[in-house]
Amino acid sequence: MKRTTTKKLCGLLAATAIGVTIATAADKAGGVTSHSQGLHGYIGFGIEKLPPQGGYTAGMGFYAAVWPLVDQPLANFQIGLPSCWILPDNSDNKDQPLAPEGTRARKWKERGPTWSSVFQTVEGGLGYWAGNHFRYGPPKFSMNATPQCYDYEVGSPGWSFFYSNEALPDNRLGIAQLSNRLLIPPDALPFQGHPNGEFLGYTWMSLPFTDPTTGDPPTGDQSWTCFLSAANFKGPIAYYIPETWSKIGKLFNSPFIYGRGLDARPGHMGGGAMEINTVPRFDVTDTHGTTYSKLPKLQWPVDADGRAYLVQDVTYYSKAALYEDFKSWRDGGPACSGRFGDKGAWRPKLNTRTTRYDQAGKKMTGVERAFDTRIFDGNVWGLQWSANNHLAAKGFFPQYYKHVGEERVAIGAAEVPAETKLHAQEFKLATPGKPYTSPATGAWTQPGAKLGPFKVRLTDGSSVTYSWYRFVDQPSFQQYNWNAGKKAQLQAFVEKLHAQWTMDRDYMAPPTRGKLVALDPALLVTPPRGLEIGYVPIVTRQERADDKTK
């Protein structure tokens, strides 16, 4: 897939940024040593070529399976469940740099001469991140994006994705909370109970909440909005403010970048993948000098025939699906239902290929004898386990590897010598992290909240503090000197949206198979009396539920 190299770099940066790459560590028991870089690869799907006509560049979505990839919350572990990536389409630019001098990505010379693959991305989805503070077993959902050549990242209305305990600086906030019924905590959205293959629908849709501007910098009207479809919540939850993408041109005095961000350009969207990135491992050498490795137990939900259904109903959208009706409603036309229209939807035929895996850069072989990727009937992407293999039980990734020259060969547990004591080694469990905090100054207090604070306890063992802000008074908007008329127009429109776009009806088409997963019910809140429309619940802190730190 075209996006594989981009995502690989993203994953490596994530691991480096939070300091989880552990060189050969102690943990010695019978010569066993612990390491990171146990497994890397992209289990993914591609799509047929987009039609030349149709403009299916305004949105993308699908239903992805939700399940506990690991049976315990592991430390130093990062794997994404099926997710997608959206980049601004700058295919017309063949030689001009999009990453200005001074940005982080500009140092990556191999991405030249345009640096288009590391300019801006939306890449959120389901997964486990090495920086998560509150692990609880199942995965979480996050809205991750990189607005400025990987100088910083945005993952929620207040924070980057798990890199810092402190909220982003006021001038780097990028997400506007839209839902008045759902909390968006900095450690991402947890799920109810023990999901095991139920589906979460999510779609990124470009919508015009505001008009384009011709100022400095010029800014488009594309607000990339995240819609969810779960058993207990449906609808848009938040969007990236267009200025989040356009301001890099002014900041670096680079007029060439004007009009080339995700605020103005069509979205370039390929297939999707599970990114396997930060995985711990144990190594041990037996008395004959042969080295063996052990990985954590990785599991998938499979049926009696060894099939794991991971992604279905992949759909790409043009502006005819929602953008046009949405803009008409905003400008005084008839109300828009919010349901994505079939006239602007395209459902491509999926394709896939055998995944290439590596361990610390060394090729891994034999995994495909246990399972391989498949496109099942109904255009569903997933995995198929072999009927007869000794490497792993159905639904499990092979855990053990023999080092043979420059390769890491998958073997069954019975092939690992007992003398190595490798079978008994247990991987380090994650512990709760420090609280996420927000400042008591700046955009968070001027003009500030209308009501609060309130607290709820989530299923991940954390406590979330939040307050109710008038929509245009939330922190992310305060960095922009918008006039009173623009703010009043946006506020009035969001009040219409709150009144008519309820969380109990479909926006995405329902899944063609399976059941919907449920979000943690504690995330669902009811606006206080008098604040039913036009106000949103902004999370200001997240900490251990029993943490008394102030």
Burial of 249 (C-beta count, 10 Å sphere; 0-12/13-18/19+): buried
Query: What type of residue sits at position 157?
Result: P
- 457 by DSSP, 3-state: which? strand
Say if CB 277 and CB 15 are below 8 A apart.
Answer: yes
Report pLDDT digits (tens) over 165-176: 999 999 999 999
- Asked if the structure places residue 444 within a domain, the reply is no
| pTM of the model as a whole | 0.93
Buried b / exposed e over 418-441, threshold 16 CB at 10 Å, is eebebeebebeebebbebbbbeee
* 543: β partners: 463
- Asked if the structure places residue 471 within a domain, the reply is no
Please give the tally of structural domains in the chain: 1
Query: What type of residue sits at position 18?
Result: I
What value, to the nearest 5°, has the Cα angle with vertex 343 and ends 231 and 329?
75
Quote the percentage of the chain above a pLDDT of 90.
91
CA–CA separation, 120 vs 98, rounded Å? 9
| Strand positions, DSSP E, 48-108 | 59-66, 78-88
- Asked if the structure places residue 201 within a domain, the reply is yes
Mean pLDDT to the nearest integer, 190-199: 97
Report pLDDT digits (tens) over 313-354: 999 999 999 999 999 999 999 999 999 989 999 999 999 999
pLDDT at 548: 55
Q: Tell me the C-alpha to C-alpha distance, in Å, between residue 68 and each of 65, 72, 298, 372.
A: 10, 8, 9, 20
Task: For residue 241, give its domain range.
Answer: 4-420
Q: Over 90: is that where the pLDDT of 54 sits? A: no
Query: What type of residue sits at position 148?
Result: Q
What does the block give as tokens for 238? 């938040």
- Asked if the structure places residue 531 within a domain, the reply is no
Report pLDDT digits (tens) over 92-117: 999 999 999 999 999 999 999 999 99
Q: Over 80: is that where the pLDDT of 33 sits? A: yes
Closest of 128, 123, 132 to residue 159, by C-alpha: 132
Report pLDDT digits (tens) over 385-431: 999 889 999 999 999 999 999 999 999 999 999 999 999 999 999 99
- CB-based contacts of 143: which residues, under 8 Å, 6+ apart? 124, 154, 155, 156, 175, 184, 226, 237, 238
- Asked if the structure places residue 517 within a domain, the reply is no
- Asked if the structure places residue 441 within a domain, the reply is no
- Asked if the structure places residue 177 within a domain, the reply is yes
The H or E element that residue 275 is part of is strand 267-278
- Asked if the structure places residue 361 within a domain, the reply is yes
Q: Tell me the C-alpha to C-alpha distance, in Å, between residue 529 and each of 58, 180, 427, 465.
A: 37, 13, 49, 19
Q: What is the mean pLDDT of the chain?
A: 93
